[in-house]
Amino acid sequence: MVTIVIDGRKVKAKENSTILENTQELNIDIPTLCFHNDLSSFGACRLCMVEVNTNGKWQLATSCNTPVEDGMEIRTDSDRVQESRKLTAELLYYKYPTTEAVREVARKLGVQTPEEKGEGHDCILCGLCVRTCREIVGVSALTFQDRGRGRDIDEPKIEFDPNSCIGCGSCAYVCPTGYVQMESVGDKRIIWNKVFNMVACKVCGRFFAPEDQLKYISKETNVPFDKLTTCTNCR
């Protein structure tokens, strides 16, 4: 354990934990868009800024991916922190004025968000879908195109690999903006423009999972495919 000081309060923190993990323990509200507790941190949205005292100098840092160090002092609510978060929210709102997740966070940070016509579902390149696919599903059907140099958050740059995708829909569930659209109708599911055949539960007959997903689970777990064709409600 290490000792850190958050907003003047001395607390014990796990070694290698992030600032955000520790502020969450204290129920300190820090805005985030690209963070998920079950995924690695990415530091893309820059909304989770805090101030950290490093060698006597206060510097801004993203709380979601900055590990704590013994003796570290952190400010979560200084004027500088508030200004930084508001500026980031303004920039995001300027780029994605109709995307509700962005509007909501901008409003919370005091940005005026007049009503806009239309419904935006922009990709803000938060990377949640990419990390979910890789870290939770274990498939890596989504990657960042042109990662690093030349990366431009004006345009969606998520690359979809139809050969790897199993149609599980995890990316659609985790996407904060609704950019990933998934439609399941009858025995078909469409996601990222790929059509998947759905399997009907052998007990109740409800189409409950894509065939490719069950085949993938079968391969990974060595459980025969026909043992997986009962939905969770009927198991």
Site string for ligand SF4, 83-122 (x = CB under 6 A): ----------------------------------------
| Cα distances (angstroms) measured from residue 134 to each of 128, 164, 175 | 10, 11, 14
Should residue 125 be labelled a site residue for ligand SF4 when binding is judged by CB under 6 A?
yes
Radius of gyration of the chain from its Cα atoms, rounded to whole angstroms = 21
In three-state secondary structure terms, 20 is helix
Between 22 and 99, CB nearer to ligand SF4:
99
d(CA 183, CA 208): 13
Between 60 and 217, CB nearer to ligand FES:
60
HSE-CB of 193 using CA atoms within 13 angstroms: 4
Between 181 and 233, CB nearer to ligand SF4:
181
Should residue 175 be labelled a site residue for ligand SF4 when binding is judged by CB under 6 A?
yes
* Candidate residues 61, 64, 105, 126; the one interacting with ligand SF4 per rule CB under 6 A: 126
Name residue 55's beta-bridge partners: none
Minimum CB distance to ligand SF4, residue 193 (Å): 14
Minimum CB distance to ligand SF4, residue 205 (Å): 33
Instruction: Tell me, by CB under 6 A, how many residues bind ligand SF4.
Output: 13
Tell me which residues in 11-40 interact with ligand FES (CB under 6 A): 32-35
Angle, CA of 76, 78 and 84, to the nearest 5°: 85
Stretch that binds ligand SF4, among 47-55, 88-96, 169-177, 215-223 (CB under 6 A): 169-177
In what order do the strands lie in the sheet containing 9-13? 9-13, 2-6, 73-75, 49-54, 57-62
- State the virtual CA torsion across 110, 116, 118, 121 in degrees, nearest 10: -20
d(CA 144, CA 123): 12
Tokens of 34: 């690209």
Contact 132, 174 (CB under 8 A): yes
Tell me which residues in 40-69 interact with ligand FES (CB under 6 A): 43-48, 62, 64
Between 11 and 182, CB nearer to ligand SF4:
182
Instruction: Tell me, by CB under 6 A, how many residues bind ligand FES.
Output: 12
Phi-psi domain of 185 (left: phi exceeds 0; alpha: psi -120 through 50; beta: other): beta
* Candidate residues 46, 177, 208, 214; the one interacting with ligand SF4 per rule CB under 6 A: 177
Stretch that binds ligand SF4, among 68-76, 103-111, 124-132, 227-235 (CB under 6 A): 124-132
Contact 2, 70 (CB under 8 A): yes
Binding partner of residue 180 among ligand SF4, ligand FES, none, CB cut-off 5 to 8 Å per kind: ligand SF4
List residues binding ligand FES (CB under 6 A): 32-35, 43-48, 62, 64
